[in-house]
């Protein structure tokens, strides 16, 4: 190889080519052109969606690191809409399996499965994304709207989801998570954090769901031991949609009118939220009640702190067994904080001074509510507390600027 040829090789390998923007417009052949753009994109590239409706019959996929998929907006006349109404099969609308991806400013409508799923995609951003099932709440809708799973570094912000038959925004088996400034309505669960650690859920509006905010830990999953979750400065109101989850789904057991439901997690802080008109209860803290064989699993809710929150009307129409007896025992409405009373050690639930909480005083997971013996929480109220710093890495926030 001569010197000129060698120099050319060295220059070619020393630095990547400049990032490019590939623009895709709706219209004839848009589905093929869009998928080709996602396949051919190089790290750092932007795939830009024009305004209008992209009619798609198959799901899309992205497996290139460092790509931005950006539309013209998620709402309004100039929105970029990925329309999966005629989708064949039951897959998700968009599947992302690469790292450092940014998804922003477009809508997904009527996918047969999940709206957007990212799996094993570290440092992923969802911003200004709308996922909607336009026919309203139905069991035949996809399970999840925005669905990052098995990821480290997740930011979901300024997005909207409605109609999901499981959870509007679901983050599972992940860590270092921020879910901020979103609107979730008419889903079974508005936002669900499951088997995940170090999550901040803040400044969201959860309304007209079956349950507003859920923090679960479940057995039998590859990633276990969820915890260190903060629910702060959210509006959780009017969650009164009847449960429309398919039978057998874990959220099919969520009672209509649940504001926050914490189940089997270790370390959850609930503070500075506004609760209004959640007919079953504003906050419920419970153990996992189903049989399990996973020796790694702890079914108890541990180290849950309910700090200062604004509690309005709620608990006056609980969808619980023994409803009439419970209402009579509580004087016509369940208290703002309701705990099943099932505790592993003296580390179950702690409440701030001035917060009203009652226990059902059950003794073991799966025990019937008919055996409940409701009484005020016999806990020393907290006047102050500390909690770990949680949330997505600052570098994710910086990528949106």
* Rounded CA Rg of the chain: 23
Asked if the model's pLDDT at residue 371 lies above 80, the reply is: no
State the pLDDT at residue 316. 94
Pair 258, 281: CB distance under 8 Å: yes
- pLDDT-derived band at 12, boundaries 50, 70, 90: very low
pLDDT-above-70 percentage for the chain: 95
Quote the pLDDT of residue 54. Answer: 98
Can you give the pLDDT at residue 1?
A: 47
Q: How many CB atoms lie under 10 A from the CB of residue 23?
A: 12
- pLDDT at residue 101 is higher than 90: yes
Structure tokens at 263: 């189940």
- What tens digit of pLDDT does each residue of 183-236 get? 999 999 999 999 999 999 999 999 999 999 999 999 999 999 999 999 999 999
- pLDDT average, residue stretch 133-145: 97
- Compute the CA torsion angle 313, 316, 317, 321 (nearest 10 deg): 130
Which of 95-109, 237-251, 363-377 bottoms out in mean pLDDT, i.e. has the lowest?
363-377
pLDDT tens digits along 147-166: 999 999 999 999 999 999 99
Q: For the chain, what is the mean pLDDT?
A: 92
**Cα–Cα distance measured from residue 146 to residue 142, given in angstroms and rounded to the nearest whole number:** 11
- Asked whether residue 5 carries a pLDDT value surpassing 60, the answer given is no
With pLDDT > 90 as the criterion, what percentage of the chain qualifies? 79
What is the number of other CB atoms lying within 10 angstroms of the CB of residue 310? 12
Q: Is the pLDDT of residue 237 over 50?
A: yes
CB-based contact 67:99 (threshold 8 Å) = no
Give 111-128 pLDDT, tens digit per residue. 999 999 999 999 999 999
Tokens representing 82 are: 């990925």
Burial of 180 (0-12, 13-18, 19+ CB in 10 A): buried
Q: pLDDT tens, 256-305?
A: 999 999 999 999 999 999 999 999 999 999 999 889 999 999 999 999 99
Is 106 a residue whose pLDDT tops 50? Answer: yes
């Amino acid at each position: 190889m001569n010197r000129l040829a060698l120099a050319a090789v060295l220059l070619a390998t020393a630095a990547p080519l400049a990032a490019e923007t590939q623009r895709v417009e709706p219209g004839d052949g848009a589905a093929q052109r869009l998928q080709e753009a996602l396949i051919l994109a190089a790290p750092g590239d932007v795939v830009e969606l024009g305004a209008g409706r992209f009619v798609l019959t198959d799901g899309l996929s992205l497996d290139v690191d460092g790509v931005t998929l950006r539309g013209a907006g998620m709402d309004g006349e100039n929105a970029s809409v990925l329309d999966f109404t005629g989708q064949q099969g039951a897959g998700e609308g968009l599947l992302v399996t690469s790292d450092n991806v940014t998804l922003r400013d477009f809508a997904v409508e009527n996918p047969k499965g999940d709206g957007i799923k990212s799996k094993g995609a570290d440092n992923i951003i969802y911003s200004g994304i709308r996922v909607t099932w336009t026919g309203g709440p139905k069991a035949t809708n996809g399970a999840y709207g925005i669905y990052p799973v098995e990821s480290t570094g997740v930011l979901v912000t300024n997005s909207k989801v409605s109609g999901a038959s499981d959870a509007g925004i679901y983050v599972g088996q992940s860590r270092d998570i921020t879910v901020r400034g979103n609107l979730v309505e008419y889903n079974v669960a508005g936002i669900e954090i499951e088997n995940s650690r170090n999550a901040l859920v803040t400044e969201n509006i959860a309304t007209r769901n079956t349950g507003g905010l859920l923090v679960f830990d479940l057995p039998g999953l590859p990633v276990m031991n969820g915890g260190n979750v903060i629910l702060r400065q959210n509006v959780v109101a009017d969650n009164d949609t009847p449960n429309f989850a398919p039978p057998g789904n874990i959220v099919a057991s969520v009672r209509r009118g649940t504001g926050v439901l914490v189940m089997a997690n270790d370390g959850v802080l609930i503070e500075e939220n506004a609760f209004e008109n959640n007919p079953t209860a504003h906050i419920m803290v419970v153990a996992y009640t189903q049989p399990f064989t996973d020796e790694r699993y702890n079914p108890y809710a541990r180290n849950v702190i309910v700090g200062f929150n604004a509690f309005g009307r709620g608990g006056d129409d609980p969808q619980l067994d023994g409803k009439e007896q419970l209402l009579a025992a509580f004087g016509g409405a369940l208290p703002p904080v309701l705990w099943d009373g099932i505790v592993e050690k003296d580390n179950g639930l702690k409440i701030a001074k001035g917060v009203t909480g009652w226990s059902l005083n059950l003794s073991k997971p799966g025990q019937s509510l008919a055996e409940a013996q409701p009484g005020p929480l016999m806990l020393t109220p907290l006047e102050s507390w500390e909690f770990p710093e949680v949330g997505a890495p600052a570098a994710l926030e910086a990528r949106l600027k």
